[in-house]
A and B are shown apart, each in its own frame.
Chain A
Amino acid sequence: MKRRFFVKKAALSAMAGIIGADIVFGATMPEGYQPLALQDSDPFKLFHKDTEMVVLNDKPWNMEAQAHLLDDKVTPNEYIFIRNNGLIPEKVDEKNWTLTIDGESVKQQKKYTLAELKSKFKQHTYQLTLECGGNGRSEFDPPAKGNQWTIGAVYCANWTGVRLRDVLEDAGIKSDAVYIGYHAADMHLSRDPNKEPISRGAPMAKALQDETILAFQMNGNDIPLAHGFPLRLVAGGWPASVSGKWLQRISIRNKIHDGEKMNGTAYRVPCHPVAAGEEVPESEMCIIESMPVKSLITYPKSGAIIAKGQKLKIRGHAWAGELEVSKMEFSIDFGSTWKECAVEKPVNRLAWQHFSAEVGFPTIGYYEIWARATDSKGVSQPMLLPGWNPKGYLNNACHRIAVKVS
């Protein structure tokens, strides 16, 4: 039925083209055409998400968590943000799904079924932090265009799969290999089959890391459809757009991959710092690699009222892209003084780390608790917004929650 509506619209558009009429039929389609079943149902039911998740966009689907929803050490699906550049594939045929390894720098182009990937290569499970490059975009001034993520486009789930390195080496990597680029089954918003919504990748060094995997399970189950079922590239610590969903093909390139969202200003920041609002030529925009150090207070939820004399237990997570978090601090006086608190080692490289503290307040009144992580190179989160950039990426400013002592 839904599909028929789409074909109907397509037929109408084709006719419109011939009679030279306006191509936009939105206003004359009182039934509200729904090209895709996925575009219309209740997103929380459809994607098995908690109803406290915030929908930023419904075409394409984009949804983020709130800080207090991310309290679990391993994020369950219901609190995982959804970021799509295109339309989620309508039909996934797991049995006949294949992954092709090709490109200028592959020794021999190879194609694997899912069953072959699972049986031929050793399987590994890693907990990996995935954060959208644009997480925190909503705070930039002047504002940056795109989905206005606040703080909830990050999570850390367990991923099970095979190492990308093992598969690439099985096909053979030529010595001139520079980059890998992925191609996937999602559809461009315009429904133009010749356009890819997104086709990004990573330099060989990242592609060959132990933790860069071709995953077929998330948190011990099949990957949910919105997160890339049945096969996803997972490259923790880098903008989550490197972790291509619904993976069908990986090209070993002899140059920096030039797929959709690799060029122009997408997932790039100025190579040199610029003033807020400054025009930056595309040639001066550099590809984002590792994400910066960041942390989130996940307990309590902002807005807690406590009694005078009551100690407040706080906790949360901290992560640092390719690096590790080496120090965690909090402040209740807007950064005048900082107290160091405990931060655990990551369960594996590229997993987020957990911190906790007990906070006392000297008087009654309004407080904010600010959290600040420092990475293994001594770089800390800024309290103010970091360097402005045209697309509003990499906002790792300190997270804070409000507390009232009465």
Chain B
Amino acid sequence: MKNPDKFEQQTSGAYRLVLIIIALVVIILLGGIYLYNDPDLSYFKNSGQDSELVEAAGDMDEYNKVENGLHVRTGLIDAPGLMATVNNCTTCHSAKLVIQNRMSKERWISTIRWMQKTQNLWDLGDNEEVIVNYLVTNYPPKKKGRREVLTNIEWYELKK
């Protein structure tokens, strides 16, 4: 206990050193894992030269192309909130599951809560309102009554 300050200094210095080493190891490991999976660094290449940036933007346009009011890749209706919905709602399940369903605002929200509680859906933050508005505007419930009339009948001649 002759030099308590110095001892404390030394230990905290050692502690810091250990932390720095751990941080370095983690960074090297992650870098290694990344390089192993993407040796060409292709993920970062898009942000390189200007000419490539233009090309990347072109790819993105193609990737998120909209035709006849529908987002081609997912089939979702092109309307405000589309990309927030695509990015948050089609990672685990298909957009087809969204498109098939018709719900009120309340029930879309309770479906989100259920997915957060049981299906590992993350906190949507400010996007939640955007997504719910998108869903309830574009996929609202439709009245069907107790039995619908037959529609889309494909008529054909039945030979004897």
Contacts and interface: CB of A to CB of B under 8 A. Distances in A.
Contacts of B119: 189-190
Given A310-B160, A400-B150, A58 B94 contact: yes
A300 B158 contact: yes
Interface string A101-122: 0000000000000000000000
A383 to B, nearest CB: 7
Contacts of A141: 141, 143-146
Contacts of A57: 93-94, 96-97, 100
Nearest to B160: A310
B92 interface: yes
Contacts of B38: 8, 11
Interface string B144-157: 11111010011111
A304 B120 CA distance: 48
Given A30-B56, A305-B157, A383-B147, A4 B90 contact: no
A48 interface: no
Contacts of B97: 57, 147
B59 interface: yes
A301 B83 CA distance: 40
Interface residues of A, number: 53
A145 interface: yes
Contacts of B1: none
Interface size class of B (residues with CB under 8 A): 35 or more
B interface: dominant SS: loop
Given A15-B30, A26-B87, A303 B156 contact: yes
A310 B96 CA distance: 42
B15 interface: no
A255 interface: no
B105 interface: no
B103 A145 contact: yes
A12 B43 contact: yes
A254 to B, nearest CB: 25
A93 interface: no
B91 interface: yes
B7 interface: no
A117 to B, nearest CB: 33
Contacts of B30: 11, 14-15, 18
A385 interface: yes
A360 interface: no
Interface string B80-120: 00010011101111101100111110010001000000111
A139 B94 contact: no
Contacts of B37: 4, 7-8, 11
Given A7-B37, A15-B34, A24-B91, 20 more contacts: A4-B37, A8-B37, A8-B38, A11-B37, A27-B87, A30-B46, A57-B93, A59-B92, A60-B94, A140-B144, A141-B143, A188-B120, A192-B120, A305-B155, A305-B156, A305-B158, A306-B158, A307-B160, A310-B160, A404-B155
Closest 4 CB pairs of A and B: A190-B120, A141-B144, A304-B158, A59-B94
26 contacts: A4-B37, A11-B30, A12-B34, A18-B30, A26-B86, A26-B87, A26-B90, A27-B60, A27-B87, A30-B63, A32-B73, A57-B93, A60-B94, A139-B144, A141-B141, A141-B145, A143-B101, A143-B102, A146-B101, A148-B101, A189-B119, A301-B156, A302-B153, A303-B153, A303-B155, A305-B157
